[in-house]
Structure 1
Amino acid sequence: MNPTERHECGADSVMIMLPGALMTPQHMAAAGLLAEVQRRALALDVIAPDLHAEGPDNRLALRALEAEWLTPARARYRRVWLGGISRGGQLALSCLAGRQGEMHGLCLLAPYAGGRITTNAIRRAGGLAAWRAGADLENDPDVRLWHWLKQPLPEVPVYMGYGAQDRFADGMQMLAEQLPRATHATVPGEHDWAAWLPLWQRFLDQGHFAAGAQEAP
């Protein structure tokens, strides 16, 4: 199991940032995700855990996320944000949409919207309101997310961005339509760090976290 990556500065806010499929917390650190927070001296701790050991079923990962990360974070921090990249973004959005646990905001970088079988079925039905999940609801995390999105989301700040040339951009556009109150951003790029890091930088520059945090001794 990959160890957790952290940036801690004694802040009262934390971002639990979930890696995508085939991505480790170390990939996120190497790409500069934590360094961008440190460089801005933001009052934000960042924790990048590894939940891949829970397998492809988001239900197991959601339970682990709540028990091992969100619940302890709420006991320590005043504000708990949740974020993720690709599959990690799907898991973060599933946590909010499925009312899996209270949080104060979401940061979604190229969140995976599910396979085209699911998104095409929603289009054929005439949109999400008319679509009905079938028997695969119990076993398919993509279907469960869209089923949850039929209900209004809890009102917390949501930031969502993706690369304009991302191979999953059509599904992400469908997600964006279900998040009308979110802050949306697109940048040139595909499904990789060339898009994700600028999107993360834009999020950090939005002013959600006061500057001036001091590094922990």
Structure 2
Amino acid sequence: MRLLTDPHPGGSERLLILLPGAEIALEDFARQGFIAAVRERGYAFDIQCAALDYTHVMARTVESTLHTEVIQPAQTAGYRQIWLAGISLGAFNSLLYASQHAAELAGLCLLSPYPGTGDILGEIRSAGGPQSWLETPEAQQGDERVFWRWLAECQRSDHWPCPIHAITGTEDRFIRGQRLLMDTLPATCRTELPGAHDWPAWQAQWAHWLDHGPWSRA
């Protein structure tokens, strides 16, 4: 997997991994100001952009590839705190990983998360929502059901192994599914801002999270 790394000038034991959406190049995180926004705020993180994409989703290797090629090497390198932040499909992939390895992570930031395919979203709605769907046989199947099942179980127990913060735009083309997903999260961990499914919206969401999220309170 191709990786781009931007180390903190003073070194850090904290790592922020950025996962791109579909048709987003790793270099776009720098071009669109995501890395500069972290540096401008003085957050002491090394930043790594990882080229996890739809081919991994189709092959069902998101979790294994991210774990063996990114997370485990980071742990071996001495990082004590690892965050995942993803845009759209990158947020989807973050959830797939966290559903299996939440204990490995300090937290997730989901920007305009892609909520999954229409058939599975319809399945959840037809059941009456994630909690009712959790009782159906379909909930035990694969694909993104893995993270939907995990989210519903966390919501039911009110136990979250790692914090999850989700932000999207009110005009996002996936807003209906995103709201279904975000409603599983604690109210303080979900935000809607003006915007669509594009870079201006993602930049605003990123700035909002950096300014109001857990790091700003540390």
Q: Distance in 2 between matches of 1:184 and 1:53?
A: 25
Give me the TM-score of the superposition, normalised by structure 1: 0.85
Q: Which moved more, 1:56-65 or 1:33-42?
A: 56-65
**Over residues 35-64 of structure 1, what are the superposed CA-to-partner deviations in whole Å (9 max), with x where a residue is unaligned?**
111222211111111023843337312101
Q: Which has the higher helix share?
A: 2
| Greater RCO, CA 8 A, separation 6+ | 1
Q: Deviations over 1:168-187 (max 9, x none)?
A: 01111111111126522221
Q: Does 1:184 align with 2:190?
A: yes
Q: Distance in 2 between matches of 1:182 and 1:58?
A: 34
Shift of 1:205: 1.7
Do 1:15 and 1:44's aligned partners in 2 also have CA atoms closer than 8 Å?
yes
User: Which residue is equivalent to 1:4?
Assistant: 3
Identity, % of aligned positions: 33
* TM-score, length-scaled by structure 2: 0.85
In structure 2, the gaps of 5 or more residues are none
Q: Residue 30 and residue 60 in structure 1: after superposition, are their counterparts in 2 closer, same or farther (change >3 A)? A: same
Report how far residue 100 of structure 1 moved.
Answer: 6.3
2: CA distance between counterparts of 1:155 and 1:101? 6
Count the aligned residue pairs.
208
| Matching residue of 1:51 | 52
Give the secondary-structure state (helix, strand or coil) at the position aligned to 1:48: strand
Is the alpha carbon distance of 1:210 and 1:166 closer, same or farther for their aligned partners in structure 2, counting shifts above 3 Å? closer
1:215 alignment partner in structure 2? none
Residue range with higher mean Cα deviation, 120-129 or 175-184: 175-184
State the alpha-carbon separation in 1 of the partners of residues 101 and 74 from structure 2.
Answer: 17
Q: Is the 8 A contact 1:66 1:100 kept in 2?
A: no
Give me the CA root mean square deviation.
2.4
For the 8 Å contact 1:43–1:209, the answer to whether it is kept is: no
User: Which consecutive residues of structure 1, in runs of 5 or more, have no partner in the other structure?
Assistant: 212-217
Equivalent residue number for residue 94 of structure 2: 92
Whichever residue aligns with residue 130 of structure 1, its letter is S
Given residue 20 of structure 1, which amino acid in structure 2 is its aligned partner?
G
